[in-house]
Each structure stands twice: as C-alpha cells, then as structure tokens.
Amino acid sequence: MIPTRWPILAAICAQLVSTGAAAQSPTVVIELEGGPTWQSYNDVEIPNDGSATRFSLYDLAGSGPWLGTRAYITWNPRPRHGLRLLLAPFSLTETGVPDQVVQFAGATYSAGQPTRARYKFNSYRLTYRYRLHASDRTTAWIGFTGKIRDAVIALSQNEVASRKDDLGFVPLLHLSGEWRLAPRWSLSLDMDALAGGPGRAGDAALKLGFDVGDQWTVQAGYRTVEGGADVEEVYAFAWLHYAVASVMWRP
C-alpha cells in the first residue's frame, strides 16, 4: 500500500504552480543537509521464499535517532533546464536481543542472545528537471531521477554472521516547487517517488528557508523516506523520518 503522504505531497507541489513572469534560476547551488533520523518500521525477510524469518529491525535496533546527512549539487545550464546530483549516505549499527529464532540469509540466530544488526542504505541520484513555471513568488519543476541504491542488511551473533548486499538502479519521478512567503522567506517542497510492481520508493521534504544574503540560505524542516521491495530474493520495507537543517550556497 502506498503511504497516504505521497499523494498529499504531490498535491501540495501542484499548488505551487501558478501564472506569472519568468524568474532567473541560479546557475549553481550547493546544499548540505543533516539532522537526527528515526525509523517507524523496518521489516526484513531474506530470502523471501518461505525459508527465512520475517523480523523487525525496528524491534532489534530501536527507533533511533541516528545522524542522517546528504549533499546536493545543482547546475542549471539554461533557465528552464537543470541537473542535480545527490549523495545521501545512511547507516545504523545497534545490538538487540531477538525474542524468536531468526533465520536470515542462510544463518540461524538464537532467541534471547545479543545480536548485532547493521542497516545501510546509501542513495546516489542524478536528476534532470524541467522548470514548468517561474514567477516572482512561485517556481515549479518536474523531471526524472536515476537512483543507485547501495544497501546492506547484516546480522551477527557470537560466531554466526550473515549479510545481504543490494546494489541496483531505481527510476523515480521528480517534483519540486518553491513559494516565496516574503522577500527573505520561502517554503519549498522536493520529492522523488515512484510506486508500482514489486516495490516502491519515496523521498520528500518540506522546508522553511531564510535568505541570509544574496548567496546563502538556511533551511529547516521535515524529510520522510519510505519504500522497499517484495521479490523472491528479498522482502525489505523501511520508513525513516528526518528533522533536517541545511545550508545552501549560490557561488
């Protein structure tokens, strides 16, 4: 089931499109973002063929928080065309005690014994986007994102250890928009998402920004990342929540 937040966020982005005169986009924008990250679920079964145990990394590792960071580099070679590179590493390592025997990736883990869990989900993306609209107060973009997913789920208990590595490509739809609330204040929405077939992926952020000067903007807000895959090789779905702050520089 697709979380109800994705249609709502898409509707908010659509509301940012209105008529008006064209505005100039900065040629280069560099943004650094970070903040505490929590998980509300993280369910795993590997392999997903009935031979393994479906268990919760949330129950084993807890809800967090952990540090989440990312970096954006945006280049707008023309007023209506932009390219954006994203580097978004994330990982957590915790020790918990499973309340049941866990069969995972060919190994057996006993109940009631300390078990080390590692979860890594690094995301590397390149986005092409087209500016649908620009005025003095609103801007809206639509585009395509190619995402490289570098994921690892691993367990270890005493001398027993197993892991699952997953490196793959995911195509996503990109939507973003900005609304100028006042000369120095802005509200922005940014989203990469797609659902269908055996899996889904969504990454959306709503941030309030303040222009410190002509070149610098500070922002704060909320980011949510949700998704996973349900195929024979793996069942893995997670939902992460970020309280974020970022700094944008326009050289």
Residues with Cβ within 8 Å of 182's Cβ and at least 6 positions away in sequence, in order, are none
pLDDT by residue for the chain (251 residues), tens digit each? 445 455 554 454 444 433 333 345 679 999 999 999 999 999 999 999 999 999 999 999 999 999 999 999 999 999 899 999 999 999 999 999 999 999 999 999 999 999 999 999 999 999 999 999 999 899 999 999 999 999 999 999 999 999 999 999 999 999 999 999 999 999 999 999 998 878 999 999 999 999 999 999 999 999 999 999 999 999 999 999 999 999 999 99
**CA angle, 30 as apex, 146 and 193 as ends, to 5°?**
30
Q: What is the pTM assigned to this prediction?
A: 0.86
Domains detected in the chain? 5-249 (2.40.128.90)
Distance CA 89, CA 142 (A): 24
Report pLDDT for 171: 95
Distance CA 103, CA 94 (A): 19
CA distance readout (Å), 207 to 93, 160, 186? 28, 44, 8
Q: Token pair of 232, please?
A: 């024979």
Report pLDDT for 188: 97
Report pLDDT for 200: 94
Show the 3-state SS of the chain: CCCCHHHHHHHHHHHCCCCCCCCCCCCEEEEEEEEEEEEEEEEEECCCCCCCCCEEHHHHHCCCCEEEEEEEEEEEEECCEEEEEEEECCEEEEEECCCCCEEECCEEECCCCCEEEEEEEEEEEEEEEEEEEECCCEEEEEEEEEEEEEEEEEEEECCEEEEEEEEEEEEEEEEEEEEECCCCEEEEEEEEEEEECCEEEEEEEEEEEEECCCCEEEEEEEEEEEEEEECCCCEEEEEEEEEEEEEEECC
Report pLDDT for 195: 86
Report pLDDT for 196: 81
